[in-house]
Amino acid sequence: MKDKTACLAQDAADRLRGLRDLFQIDDDEIYLDGNSLGALPRATPARVREMVEQEWGRGLIRSWNDAGWIDLPRRLGDKIARLVGAAPGEVAVADSTSVNLYKVLAAALRISRADAPRRTRILSERSNFPTDLYIAEGLARQYGMTLELAEADEIPGRIDSDLAVLMLTHVNYRTGRMHDMAALTRAAHEAGALAVWDLAHSAGAVPVDLNGAQADFAVGCGYKYLNGGPGAPAFVWAHARHADRFEQPLSGWMGHAAPFRFTTDYQPAPGIARYLCGTPPLLSMAALECGIDTVLAAEPLGGIAALREKSLALGELFIELVEARCAGHGLALASPRDPALRGSQVCFARGEGAYAIVQALIEQRVTGDFRAPDILRFGFTPLYTRYIDVWTAVERLAQVLDSGIWREARFQRQAAVT
């Protein structure tokens, strides 16, 4: 088992160690929740202030042209494309993950209905993130289809000739289990179905190759591993073979072919631009660009492959230390033990007190989170997480468990956000 000295030596040898300086994070803050909300990039406050004081304050409405505001959804999309295996012009930043999922799933269902009206099922994972299931449930009712849920291991066997769309999150939010995007997309296509992917826990954390996998549609989140700030806008991608087939259902003016002609009829823009809807949230986009740039800063150091290598090493260290230091306290690994099947997070299940243990740990300045009913979840963002952070986090977790402090009443009161 690695000790404190070994972890400090790993940090000293880490080629990515300088990237932590891009973030405003206290040296004694052990932040293992970047899979829920990324840390604040140092560049963000000044960039947002510049947009507020100069571009908005002085430039006023002229900044739509002079400061390039109108181009932000696609300019940021091109940056994200470099992280998800998409080509320039194929990704746009807009709206939320939920709204974008509604757009692409509706488009996928329309394509399926046009090509094969007999198909009546949407298939997803039972433990998929709830918003994805809620959106799919609503669209299933709207299109007269059925939403079918299956365990992860059951999914390949449920792909058949009745399937219209396979809708999955690439990395499961509760367990960190990562699906084989290429294999499942291929299976869906062989059955005549389409594949829609949610990259909320993938983009900026694990290698993704949308075009290489021949996926059909994808959406993703801006405030997790892309470090765009709370409520940051999301992104949307459509494969080139689908981009112009159907207009998406939220036909707002920014998705119009010529929004400033102000025609009374809707004419969809070509390509991914038609997946825009209303006026973009520019201040949030300015913050998001700073966050994306922190991930792209890893490119000279090995890019996503280097980030993936470090995140796996951090996760493996965490599992090793927890199982050694916290043995006998009822923690059971809920994430895949095989690192190749795991995203950039590690989860442990505990039948009693999972929420309270996380709260007691947060009081010790180690931030993870709880996912109902019994999951302690820890994310490893290699841009700013150090090996010594992992060692210290486990030491403090062991202290919380050994002392039983988590049983105190103040840790039992559940807040609105867990």
Catalytic residue, candidates 129, 143, 318, 378:
129
Catalytic residue, candidates 274, 310, 377, 386:
377
Catalytic residue, candidates 198, 216, 374, 389:
198
377 is catalytic: yes
Catalytic residue, candidates 74, 224, 274, 310:
224
Q: Judging by beta carbons within 10 Å of its beta carbon (0-12, 13-18, 19+), is residue 271 exposed, middle or buried?
A: middle
Per-residue H/E/C for the chain = CCCHHHHHHHHHHCCCHHHHHHECCCCCCEECCCCCCCCCECHHHHHHHHHHHHHHCCCHHHHHHHCCHHHHHHHHHHHHHHHHCCCCCCEEECCCHHHHHHHHHHHHHHHHHHHCCCCCEEEEECCCCHHHHHHHHHHHHHHCCEEEEECHHHHHHHCCCCEEEEEEECECCCCCEECCHHHHHHHHHHCCCEEEEECCCCCCCCCCCHHHHCCCEEEECCCCCCCCCCCCCCEEEECCCCCCCCCCCCCCHHHECCHHHCCCCCCECCHHHHHCCCCCCHHHHHHHHHHHHHHHCCHHHCHHHHHHHHHHHHHHHHHHHHHHHCCCCCCEECCCCCHHHECCEEEEECCCCHHHHHHHHHHCCEECEEECCCEEEEECCCCCCCHHHHHHHHHHHHHHHHHCHHHCHHHCCCCCCC
Tokens at residue 373, please?
A: 């009913």
Catalytic residue, candidates 143, 223, 355, 380:
223
82 is catalytic: no
Give the torsion sign (CA, 137, 139, 141, 143).
negative
223 is catalytic: yes
62 is catalytic: no
Question: Which residue numbers are catalytic?
Answer: 129, 198, 223-224, 377
